[in-house]
Amino acid sequence: MEIDDLSQSGIRRVANYSPYLDQLAGVANEMGLRQRSNLVHLEQCLHAEWRLGQNSILSWCPLDEGILILVVPHYAIAEHTASPGSDPGLPQQVSARFITELISGDRQLTLTQMQKVGRLLSVEPKHIALRQALSANPVETKIIENMIRRYGINYVASRAVTLFDIVGFSLLTPFEQMTQLNSLSYSLNSAHAKMLELDVSINFARSSSGDGFYIWNRDNGIDANVNLYHFMHLVLADNAIARSKAVAKSVPRLRACFHVGSCYEFHQAEGLNPTVHDFIVGDVTIELARMIEAAFPGQILVGDFMADLSDQINDATDSQVNLDAVRFLQRAQKNISKLSGLMISGERVTAIKCYLTGEQLESGEFNIRRLNIRDKHGLTRTAYNAKINIYRDKAQPILLGIEDKKLAGTGMPSG
């Protein structure tokens, strides 16, 4: 009973709180005051069902002058996808794929779908009475989708993530650690500002890895993933310039990894509310963590991935077309012209070249070296060594990454 009381008192304390008020203020001409008030009321009701993080909200659908929502305890999601026969006391099994599809993409269902999902999960949909019926305004629907995601778990099948790691972080004093993390944060913000100046969209998010940050683009699709790769260039360039000017240990030496893979996104509880910022965990972060352990100071590693192209395929029969890491980098090089005119440290960028390294062949061309990385668990994965060269008008070029020839004899075998 104390938990229930705390939850209810928490609702009252956040009665005037909603992370979507800024969004609502930006669309004042599209929605009236009553409609905006209606959404604030919905936010409070979702918070009550969330119960300080005990529950997850899976889906929703409009019904009369309210909405239906599907609420399940967090542990129930794992129970429903447990291996058949693992525990006779577990509820009726549904496939992991079913749950994955349920927490992927849009969360709005039809009434028939909501009832069917409820029966499969043995959960009765809950009705939330609103002050007025929803208008089906696209902006209103988008805000509700964001609300539902904030109080649930979200699965993304193909998400690009980069990991920036501070070399020798554990050997620094606490003050130096704080200073270097702050320097890296500034480089992230500086790179973001530069891309916005060129109208290159990146809605980046960050999550601490302890020694650095995981960075991803909240936007989905191949272009969003490519933009994140370019974002990594600019972060490393800003850091390189800062290191050249630093005297004390105020600027970190970095190593970085880039990979595309699946992940779960969620919002941790902070006090009585879910955080506004999201967190990720999944295959993509696991692969990055294993790769970064093998990376050398200053090195840039790119994982061996398949990036989803379905967002750009019109023919449904071709929806499974993917882009491997090599072709992904070729695509990134082709559209890098969008960064033309960029100013770095007061000098205009004239060209950027990003490529995967390899040995020079007799023909004079270069192959692409596949690196075999063996982690502490004895598992082996493939990665590529990446180089990024940024050329400027009157200044020395910024050369990021390490040369392929420096990999010889380092203990990083190639295949």
Q: What type of residue is 219?
A: D
**Tokens describing residue 401:** 């990454």
Q: What is the mean pLDDT of the chain?
A: 82
Which carries the bigger pLDDT value, residue 2 or residue 149?
A: 149
Question: Could you tell me the pLDDT band of residue 30, with boundaries at 50, 70 and 90?
Answer: low
Residue 154 β-bridge partners? 265
Mean pLDDT over residues 362-388, rounded? 87
Rank 92-96, 215-219, 314-318 by mean pLDDT and report only the highest: 215-219
Least confident of 101-105, 183-187, 286-290, 360-364: 360-364
Which carries the bigger pLDDT value, residue 374 or residue 129?
A: 129
Q: What percent of the chain has pLDDT over 90?
A: 37
59, containing H or E segment: strand 55-63
**Tokens describing residue 148:** 């539902």
Which carries the bigger pLDDT value, residue 26 or residue 376?
A: 376
pLDDT at residue 11, as a whole number: 35
Would you say residue 319 has pLDDT above 80?
no
Would you say residue 323 has pLDDT above 60?
yes
pLDDT at residue 60, as a whole number: 95
pLDDT at residue 16, as a whole number: 42
Mean pLDDT over residues 257-264, rounded? 94
Would you say residue 52 has pLDDT above 70?
yes
Question: Could you tell me the pLDDT band of residue 79, with boundaries at 50, 70 and 90?
Answer: confident
Domain boundaries, the chain: 14-152, 156-407
Would you say residue 82 has pLDDT above 60?
no
Q: What are φ and ψ of residue 185, in 5° steps?
A: -60, -40
| CA separation for the pair 298, 400 (Å, rounded) | 7
pLDDT at residue 92, as a whole number: 52
Question: Could you tell me the pLDDT band of residue 8, with boundaries at 50, 70 and 90?
Answer: very low
Question: Could you tell me the pLDDT band of residue 259, with boundaries at 50, 70 and 90?
Answer: very high
Mean pLDDT over residues 132-159, rounded? 88
**Tokens describing residue 291:** 């790769």
Would you say residue 250 has pLDDT above 60?
yes
Question: Could you tell me the pLDDT band of residue 170, with boundaries at 50, 70 and 90?
Answer: very high
Question: Could you tell me the pLDDT band of residue 36, with boundaries at 50, 70 and 90?
Answer: confident
CB 166 within 8 A of CB 212: yes
- How many other C-beta atoms can be found within 10 angstroms of the C-beta atom of residue 208? 10
Mean pLDDT over residues 79-83, rounded? 61
Mean pLDDT over residues 229-239, rounded? 93
List the CATH code of the domain at 156-407: 3.30.70.1230
Q: Give residue-wise pLDDT tens across range 147-162.
A: 898 888 889 888 999 9
Would you say residue 317 has pLDDT above 70?
no
Contact residues for 3 (Cβ-Cβ < 8 A; gap 6+): 51, 52
Question: Could you tell me the pLDDT band of residue 37, with boundaries at 50, 70 and 90?
Answer: confident
Mean pLDDT over residues 241-261, rounded? 91
| CA separation for the pair 178, 141 (Å, rounded) | 41
Q: What type of residue is 129?
A: A
Mean pLDDT over residues 55-80, rounded? 88
pLDDT at residue 389, as a whole number: 92
- How many other C-beta atoms can be found within 10 angstroms of the C-beta atom of residue 23? 15
Beta strand 66-73 with 126-129 is antiparallel
CB 231 within 8 A of CB 375: no
Distances (CA, A) of 80 to 57, 76, 281, 403: 15, 6, 20, 49
Q: Give residue-wise pLDDT tens across range 183-195.
A: 999 999 999 999 9
Would you say residue 9 has pLDDT above 70?
no
| CA separation for the pair 95, 97 (Å, rounded) | 5
